Every structure is written in C-alpha cells, then in structure tokens.
Structure 1
Amino acid sequence: MEPSTVRTEAAPSFRPAVLEDVPALVALVESAYRGDSSRGGWTTEADILDGQRTDPDGVRAVIEDPASTLLVVEQDGALVACCQLEHRGACAYFGMFAVRPALQGAGLGKVIIAEAERRVRADWGAREMQMTVISVREELIAWYERRGYRRTGKTSPFPYGDERFGLPRRPDLEFELLVKAL
C-alpha cells in the first residue's frame, strides 16, 4: 500500500453525554451486547441473554444523575464507545461500557478504561474503581484482570424477571464485584 493511501484513525476524544445522545447510546450498547450484531465483537452476551441490555429511560437516568457521568467516546467524528462513571465516595463505579463491535480487540477499550480511571482519580479523588460483571463471563473478567482488576468473590443476584436487564438463557447468572486500587 502506498503511503498516501494508508488510513490513520484519530485518537479518541471524550465528552459527557447529553440527552440528544440517548438514541445513539442505546443503539451502541445494544450492538455491543445483544443480538447478531454483537457477535461481530467479543463482548457479546447473546449466548446467555436475550432481550434488551438497556433502554432510553435507563440511559437518560444515568445522564441526569448528578453523581454519574456517562462518557461518550468519539473517533473520526463518530460515536464509537461509552462508559458510565459513578461517584461513590472514596470509590467510583465503572459500568455501561460498550465499544462498537467492529472496533473491539484493537486496543480502544484499554485507552477508555485508562481515561476513566484517570478521570475518577482527578475529578473525585477516587481511590478504588469498582464494577460488576456477570460471573460466567470468564473471558471478559480475564480482560479486566489484565488491566489490574481483581475478583472479590462478592456476588449479587441477577435480576431474573426484570426484562429491563434482559431475558436470561440460563439459570446460574449472578454479578461478581471486581475492584482495582487507584
């Protein structure tokens, strides 16, 4: 390939989500975790859950919560990822992490989680990041462990019967708390 035809992607930029982002964020999260489109990446939950991952009301609630920031990640002018940061005193919670399936596995997730950790330390003085992951998601948990997170063994039940969180395809789902000292 000639040098003039090599395409380089711009570095990602970060900004807080606004209400106008809700439809695009719902579509992004759904594409990363549910249905056939999610199989284009490695974070799919399509084999363990059907139904929705989030909805406009859930995304809107995070954007409007004064203790939370929903970070939008843009690259080359397109919304490509997001993550939720929630201030919990000396800790911060990391959630609603989604990367466009076609971009998964290329290192963008590492950049995003590093920026999230930097922000909660700088903005809130957080000394620990916490997250919950469905405990049967071994590959995803291993990815977080490579980023310095550790399993705590503390679990919480999956909200069976609440379709806002999906329709489980198996009876053994629960969330495990992962933590990282910042």
Structure 2
Amino acid sequence: MSATTPDLLFRPATEADVAALVELVESAYRGDASRAGWTTEADLLDGQRTDPQAVAALLAAPDTLVLLAERAATGELLACCQVERRGDGAYFGMFSVHPARQGGGVGRAVLAEAERIAREEWRAASMEMTVIVQRTDLIAWYERRGFARTGELSPFPYGDERFGLPKRDDLAFEKLVKAL
C-alpha cells in the first residue's frame, strides 16, 4: 500500500521506524522544539508523549496501521498517524507532523489518506478520535475537516507518566467523530 500526494509518499511503519517515530511524536507535542509548530502540548504537559515500547506495541497490534508520510524526493519523515479498525468504524490517533512542516498542508494530506484507507480499504462508516478538551485550536481544525464534538469525555490518566506530566488538574479527553 503506497500512495503519493504532491511531495508526499505514504507507507506503513515497520519496526525499523520506531526510533524515528518516537522522535517525531515527541518533537510535535513536547518541549521547546514543539513550540515551532502550532500543535504543541508543552503548556499543558511535560514529560513524554510516547516511548519505543508503546510505538512497538502499536506496530504489533491487530487491525492497526501506523502510517508514515515521507518527503517523496528524500524519504525524510514528515508525519505519522495511527489508524485502527474498531468494528464498523476506525480510530485515528498518534497524529504528528514535524513542527517545521505544520500549517503547510501535510497534516490535511495525512488525515485524508487515513480517512481513505478506513473508508475504501476497511469499509469503515466513521472515524473517531480523542483530543484534550483544552486544545481548542486543534479541535477547531478537526471540526473544519468534518469531525463533530460528541460531548463524551474521558479522564486524563493522571499518575501514569507514560502519558506525560500534567501542568494542570482539569485535563480530559473529548471524543470527536466523523462519518466517512
């Protein structure tokens, strides 16, 4: 499964990609490097966003695809996401775009490819995700792409450092859904 959009090549991640995936996800969400883009969580969370064990587990999970977007000319990793079959729907997660490439259409292209895979290859009727409710700019970005807020909240896993070190005590996730 390989598809190309202008400047991008999509491919499934392999075990050889684990270290690069961890680096990409961390750079997009945590620490000062993430502030170069607009999707940073650095004001909400410190610590890690993921680790090699979590990424390797996703790669080994049944009905899960970790999709990479690379610069077609050079093979440079620009973005990634997780797409998981869940019944007649799909889950979208671990969406990360290199901070220097955010705002230039890479994220839109990755989301569109994930939706295409879910809709055309898996025959999924819908796609869902969870987003930290305090990330209003990010939720608005997803709403512009057809996702709807459901009002369904789930608690942030406070005390589990695998998900980061919260800087506030009111974090929660909201489920967003889009019909495919």
TM-score greater than 0.5 by the shorter chain: yes
Alignment match of 1:60 (pick from 56, 71, 93): 56
- 2: distance between equivalents of 1:155 and 1:162? 18
What's 1:179 paired with? Answer: 177
RMSD: 1.0
> Could you say which residue in structure 2 is the equivalent of 1:166?
164
Moved more, 71-80 or 14-23: 71-80
Deviation at 1:123, TM superposition (A): 1.5
1:31 aligned residue (15, 22, 27): 27
Runs of 4+ in 1 over 3 A off after TM superposition: none
Sequence identity (%): 64
Larger radius of gyration: 1
| Deviations 1:99-147, CA, capped at 9 Å, x for gaps | 0000000111111111110001112110000000000000000000000
| Residue aligning to 1:153 | 151
Taking the aligned partners of 1:160 and 1:12, their CA distance within structure 2 comes to 37
Deviation per CA, 1:69-122, whole angstroms, max 9, x where unpaired? 000110132011000000001110000000000000011111111111000111
Secondary structure of 2:149's aligned partner: strand
The CA deviation at 1:153 is 0.1
Task: For 1:112 and 1:70, locate their aligned partners in 2 and report how far apart those are by CA, in whole Å.
Answer: 11
Measured in 2, the distance between the counterparts of 1:114 and 1:15 equals 14
Please give the secondary structure, in 1, of the residue aligned with 2:128. strand
Count of residue correspondences: 174
**What is the aligned partner in structure 2 of residue 124 from structure 1?**
122
Deviations 1:37-94 (A, max 9, x none): 0000000000000000000000000011121000011013201100000000111000
Deviation of the 1:10 alpha carbon: 5.2
TM-score relative to the length of structure 1? 0.94
**Is 1:83 aligned with 2:81?**
yes
**In structure 2, what is the equivalent of residue 140 of structure 1?**
138
